[in-house]
Chain A
Amino acid sequence: MLTVKNLRKTFGSLVAVNDVSFRVESGQLVGLLGPNGAGKTTTVSMLTGLITPDRGEVLVGGARLGGDTDPAKRRIGLVPQDLALYDELSARDNLRFFGALYGLSGAALDSAIAASLALVELADRARDRVKTYSGGMKRRLNLAAGLLHDPDILVLDEPTVGVDPQSRNAIFDNLETLKRRGKALLYTTHYMEEAERLADRLVVIDHGSVIADDTVAGLTGGVAAAGGAPATLESVFLSLTGRSLRD
C-alpha cells in the first residue's frame, strides 16, 4: 500500500535522510524506530507531504505522491506527535474542520465524525471543549482526527507520548482494530514494548539510513543472546544503534 523508494533529504550540509526505502502493506503495522535525530520525523514528513524529498519517491497504492493538492494525500492520515487540536473548540467542531479539509461535508462528514469518535470512545464527550479533556483523551482525539477521512494509510508519529497506561492500551486496541480493517499503519516510537506488541515489521533507521528491516522475531533472533538469555528488542536496538547519547 505504501512504498518508500530511495528517499533523500538534506538541510544545508546535513544529510537528514539518505536512500531510505521500505514498504507497508495493507493490514500491517510497521514500526519505525531510531534514536533522536536519526531521521524518523523527516521521513514521516516526506511521506505525508509536509516536505519535499530531494530525491526518491513515495508511492501510495502504486501511484506516486505528488504536490500539495494530490488526491492521493486523501489516502494518508497523519497523527502528529503534537496535539494538533483547537482547545477552544469541541471535539466535534475540531473534527468537522479537519474533515472539511479532506472534502467531507454533510451527512458523510457527520457519519465519519460519529465513527471516529466511537472508535476512540469519545462519542459521549463530542460536544465538550477539548480544553476540558485529559491528556489521554486528547491523544485519542488526535488519533480520531487522523483517521476521520478513512485513509488507507495511517502515519502515527509517537502517538502515545505522555499518556497513562489506560489510554495507551485503548490506543493500542484502536490500532489493532484498524489493522484488522486492512489499514496500513506506520508507527514511530521510542517505546520498545509498544513496537513488540504492535508491529508486524520494524524498520530501524539511524544517521538517516535504514539499518534494519525485519520482523521482531527476525531482529531478535539475529542477535547473539547475552549469557544464554533471549535477546530483547531493546538490546537489539542498542546493539544496532550504539549506546552513545543522541541529544
Chain B
Amino acid sequence: MMLNTLGAMVRKDLQLFFSDRRAVIMSFLVPIAIASFFGSIFSGPGNNTEPAKIDVAVIDHDATAISRGIVAGLQGDRNLRVATPGEDEARAAVKRGKTSVAVIIPGGFGDAAGRAFFGDGDKPQLDIVYDPSHSVEFAMVRGILTEYVMQAVSREMFGGAQGRQYVERMLPQIQSSSAMNEGQKRLLVNLLQSVQGFYNSASDTASQPRGLTMPYAVREEAMTSGENVAYNGYAHSFAGMGIQFLLFAAANLGVEMLLERQRGMWKRLRSAPVSRTALLAGKTLSGTIIALMTLFVSFAFAMIVFKVRIAGSLVGFLAVSIACCAMAATFGLLVAALGKTPASARGVTTLAVLMMVMLGGAWVPTFIFPAWLQQLTLVVPARWAVDGLDAMTWRGIGISGAVVPTIVLMAFAAAFWTIAVSRFRWEEV
C-alpha cells in the first residue's frame, strides 16, 4: 500500500513536471546556460585564452634610470596592462573605475631609494592610488611592484652610473663620519670598495644589467585529477550552478505544496487512508528524482560540450548527487512546513538560497571571505555539495573524497526532514 502510494505520488509529480514543456526546458537550460557562462569566466589560463590583465597607470615624475627601470619592468609583466598618463588623468581614471591602480613615482625617488638601499637615509615614498572595490588587484600590483622596484634599484646600485656616483660620494663621507665606530666604518668601506671593484671589472666583461633578481624560479603545477590534466573550470561552475538551481527548484516544490494547500488539495490527500510519512516521503522522493534528472542533464551537457570528466569515482559522484538532491528535496519540504503563504515563502527562500549558494562557494571562492565566515560555510549544505562534486570531477579524488560530503549532506537532509515533519501543518479545516 505504502509503495503503491509512493509510486503514485512520484508518477503524478513527474507528470506534472513534464506537463509544462516550457518550464521543463527552462529548468534544464537555465542552469546549463549560467554554468557555461561562469565556466567560461573561471576556467583559468589553461584554455588557450588570454589571462585577464590588471589596468595600471604609472606616472614617472623622477625620470631617472631607476624609475625608468621600474616602469619598464611593469610594462613587461604579463599580468598588467600599463598606461603612462599624466597624474590628474590617472587619478580620474581610478576614481571612475577605469583603472584599478595608479603608481606615482615622485621626483628624487631613484636617488633616495639608492641611499635607502644601503640603509642610509629615509625610505622614499611611492604613491599608490587604488580603487577600493578592486582590493584583490591592488594586492597583486603591490607584490609585482616590489619585485620590479628591488630589481631596478639594485641593478642601478650595483651596475649603473647612479650607483657608481653614489659609492664614490659615500666613501669619503663614511671615513669622516663620527656616527660609526671604527669597526663599522671598516666593514662598510670594504663593502663599498668591493662593489666599486665589481663595477670596474663588470664594465669590461659584461653588458647585461645586474641587480637583485628573484632567487628562485617557479614550476607551477595545478593540482587537478592528474599530471598534465588542465583545470576545467566548467566542472566547478556546473557543480555550483547545479546546486543553486536544485535549491531553487526545491524551494519551488515547497511553494507548490503551499499552493496545493490553498487549492484544497491537501484535504483530499489527508482524507485518504495514507500516513503522514507516506505523503511527505512521496514528495521527497519525487523531489529527489526531479532534482537528480536536472543535475544529470546539466552534467551530461558539461561532459559532452565542455569535456568535464568524472575523474574521481563514478560511485562517489552518484552518492554525492543523490545526497545532494535528497538535501534539496527536504529543503523544499522545510519551505512547505515553515512557510505561511506561497508569496512570503517565495521571498524568504529566494534570499536563503542565494545566501547558501554564495556561502557555498558557487559564485566566488570562499577564500575571499573573512575567516569567521569561512568557518560558517561548514554549516552551509551547498558548500558540501560543491566540495563533493568538485572532488569527484576535476579534483579526481577517489571514493574517499565522497564519503564526508555524502554523510554531511544526508545529515542535513535528515535534519530538514525531521524539522519539516514536526512543523508541518497537518490539520486541514
Q: Hey, which bits of chain A sit against chain B, CB under 8 A?
A: 41-42, 45, 48-52, 68-74, 76, 78, 80-84, 86, 88-89, 93, 96-98, 100-103, 105, 129, 145
Contact = CB atoms under 8 A, between A and B. Distances in A.
A50 B271 contact: yes
Given A84-B265, A86-B16, A101-B5, 20 more contacts: A48-B270, A50-B267, A50-B270, A50-B429, A68-B274, A68-B276, A80-B264, A80-B267, A81-B264, A83-B263, A88-B15, A88-B20, A93-B12, A100-B5, A101-B269, A102-B272, A103-B1, A105-B4, A129-B19, A145-B268
B221 interface: no
A71 B264 contact: no
B274 to A, nearest CB: 5
Nearest to A46: B429
A69 B263 contact: no
B275 A82 contact: no
9 contacts: A45-B427, A50-B270, A51-B427, A52-B427, A73-B272, A80-B264, A84-B268, A86-B12, A86-B16
Contact of A74 (B4, B19, B273, B428): B273
A49 B266 CA distance: 12
A49 B270 contact: yes
B4 A73 contact: no
A50 B264 contact: no
Contact of B19 (A52, A83, A89, A100): A89
B428 A50 contact: yes
B177 to A, nearest CB: 93
Nearest to A97: B12
Top 5 nearest A-B pairs (CB, nearest first) are A82-B264, A100-B8, A101-B272, A88-B19, A50-B428
A32 to B, nearest CB: 15
A69 B274 contact: yes
A87 to B, nearest CB: 9
B423 interface: no
B11 interface: yes
Chain B, interface size category, equals 20 to 34
Contacts of A96: 8
A100 B15 CA distance: 15
B26 to A, nearest CB: 15
A96 B9 CA distance: 10
Contacts of A83: 263-264
B271 A78 contact: yes
Q: In this complex, which of B8, B9, B11, B265 has the most chain A Cβ atoms within 10 angstroms of its Cβ?
A: B8
Contacts of B16: 86, 88-89
B226 interface: no
Given A50-B270, A83-B264, A102-B272, A97 B429 contact: no
A129 B19 CA distance: 10
Given A89-B12, A89-B19, A68 B267 contact: no
A51 B428 CA distance: 6
A73 B427 CA distance: 16
B7 interface: yes
A47 to B, nearest CB: 9
Contacts of A89: 12, 15-16, 19
A40 to B, nearest CB: 11
B10 to A, nearest CB: 10
Contacts of A69: 273-275
Given A80-B264, A93-B15, A100-B4, A51 B429 contact: yes
A78 B268 contact: yes
Contacts of B268: 78, 80, 84, 98, 145
A53 B4 CA distance: 29
B271 A49 contact: yes
Nearest to A89: B15
Contacts of B7: 100
A51 B273 CA distance: 14
Interface in B283-305: none
Nearest to A94: B12
A73 B273 contact: yes
B273 A70 contact: yes
Contact of A84 (B1, B263, B275): B263
Contacts of A100: 4-5, 7-8
B95 to A, nearest CB: 55
Contacts of A42: 429
Interface string B251-281: 0000000000001110111111111100000
Contacts of A81: 264
Contacts of A82: 263-265, 267
Interface string B1-32: 10011011101100110011000000000000
A169 B369 CA distance: 68
Contacts of A50: 267, 270-271, 427-429
B23 to A, nearest CB: 10
Contacts of B4: 100, 103, 105
A93 B15 CA distance: 9
Nearest to A77: B271
B281 to A, nearest CB: 13
A146 to B, nearest CB: 8
Q: In this complex, which of A70, A97, A98, A145 has the most chain B Cβ atoms within 10 angstroms of its Cβ?
A: A97
Nearest to A70: B273
